[in-house]
Structure 1
Amino acid sequence: MPIPLHDPDVWLFDLDNTLYPARCNLFAQIDVRIGAYIADRLKVRLEEARRMQKQYWRDHGTSMRGLMTLHGVDPKHMLAYVHDIDYSPVLPAPALDAALAALPGRKIIFTAGDVPHAERVVERLGVARHFEAIFDIVAGDYWPKPHQAIYDKLVLKHGVDPTRAAMADDIAANLKPACAMGMRTVWIRTDESVKRAAGLDLDHIHHQTDDLAIWLADWIARRRAPK
């Protein structure tokens, strides 16, 4: 897949396991909360709730979308419940802060979480000041990546030229629509995301790294090097 000719002037960053490292494992807490929410909301045993949680995720893209479609669940109520977690595993990230400060262009968070969740994370990381906006699951009408419609909505809402943009995400499939629109793509490899990408055609991946801050610092250094 050809790399866009222009350097990006807009950067889209996924949040979970991208801006903060996967070892924080916030989703383990969220996953438990989702199961508990289903059990309480639908009055089923926890084992049945877990089965439904995974089935809805497979069938609808997220457990929440399945609950909305089949049970009329209020997504805002559910998001508030499942994100009521301990954020202390997310530590200040001075290297990421420095890289984002040096990175030219606009910066937007593109997340399947909600705005309060993203705000808590970037405050913990110490990088909130770098982002002009958060495009969350609410802004995307509760559809998750990689639904094309939410990419279209993001670029329209924030005036993004996809051919002058880059997107970083830990889920390889989420980068495919971005690439098709003309964006540069950066895949953040984690143990889980590598497993999920097994067998996928990765021609839409332009760059990949195990550490976003290191990759950004290297990218900036290469752009500043004498030609």
Structure 2
Amino acid sequence: MRPDLSHIDTWLFDLDNTLYPEESGFMGSVEGRMTAFVAKVTGLPRDEAYALQKKYFAEHGLTLKGLMLHHGVDPADFHALFHDLSLEVLAQDPELVAALAGLPGRRLIFTNADNTHAERVLAHLGLRGLFDDVFHIHSFGFAPKPDPLGFQRMIDAHGLNPATTSFFEDSERNLKPAADLGMTTVLVGPRALASTAPFVHHRTEKLTPFLTAARLKEAI
């Protein structure tokens, strides 16, 4: 059955592992640098640093938030780790570009990354001109997804109507606050079809065919 998104006029997308496939392996490079940074800051062996990295992510929604709270890390130093990462594993998808371009209404990015990272990835994927704004970790005052405060700041900043907004994410837990606010949620990625969470309204392994098949609001 075609997913019915004919009520949607605002399209909210996570960035990493959502607008490109998880199997690209790009986030593995991000995680590797993050672990090395945590080890340097804390003096822990790499395996213990990795465990702490995941602990902070689980507790705060963002490893950086834990590093800021407990180790006084400057966000600028943390984000700089990723600004020279090679993007060669990320391939442009002309069909995704066309599908996004065909969505009626506003298109926005909602990411826990910083603006520089988001801009680099979007430009590399050929998607930058398709989005009205990037709402990044600085935009929502370090209240990372799934913190409801970050969602409320997104809504306030852009005057969103949750009832006509759809949110696409690869992280199941980040969809709950969106659903609680009244958004239509779409879980994307290799684990999506196995999800049984009641706050996930649609599930798809691949973003492009889902968008291509969706029933959309007719242009006026």
Tell me the TM-score normalised to structure 1 length. 0.87
1:85-100 pair list within 5 angstroms: 85-100=85-100
Q: Is the 8 A contact 1:61 1:144 kept in 2?
A: yes
> 1:121, 1:214 → 2: CA distance?
21
Contact 1:4–1:183 under 8 Å retained in 2: no
Whole-angstrom distance in 2 between the partners of 1:12 and 1:159: 13
- Contact conserved, 2:187 with 2:204, CA < 8 A, in 1? yes
- Per the alignment, residue 116 of structure 1 pairs with 116
Deviation string for 1:9-47 (max 9, x for gaps)? Answer: 111001111111111121111111111112223344333
- What residue is the counterpart of 1:16 in the other structure? 16
Residue 207 (structure 1) aligns with: 202
Q: In the alignment, is residue 147 of structure 1 matched against residue 147 of structure 2?
A: yes
Q: Is the 8 A contact 1:6 1:164 kept in 2?
A: no
* Equivalence map 1:176-195=2 (5 Å): 176-191=176-191
Work out whether 1:41 is the aligned partner of 2:41: yes
Q: CA deviation at 1:194?
A: 6.6
Q: Please give the secondary structure, in 2, of the residue aligned with 1:56.
A: helix
- The answer to whether the Cα contact below 8 Å between 1:30 and 1:83 also exists between their aligned partners in 2 is no
TM-score, normalisation: structure 2 = 0.89
CA deviations over 1:105-160 (Å, ceiling 9, x no partner): 10000111111111111111111111010011111222221110000000100111
Identity within the alignment, %: 37
Residue segments in structure 1 that go unaligned for 5+ positions in a row: none
In 2: Cα distance, 1:149 partner to 1:179 partner: 14
Report the aligned-residue RMSD: 2.2
Deviant stretches of 4+, over 4 Å: 3-6
Pairwise CA distance, 1:223: 5.8
| Residue ranges of structure 2 left out of the alignment (5+ in a row) | none
| 1:49-198 alignment, distance < 5 Å | 49-191=49-191
In structure 1, C-alpha distance between the alignment counterparts of 2:97 and 2:82, rounded to whole Å: 27
Aligned counterparts of 1:9 and 1:83: Cα–Cα separation in 2 = 32
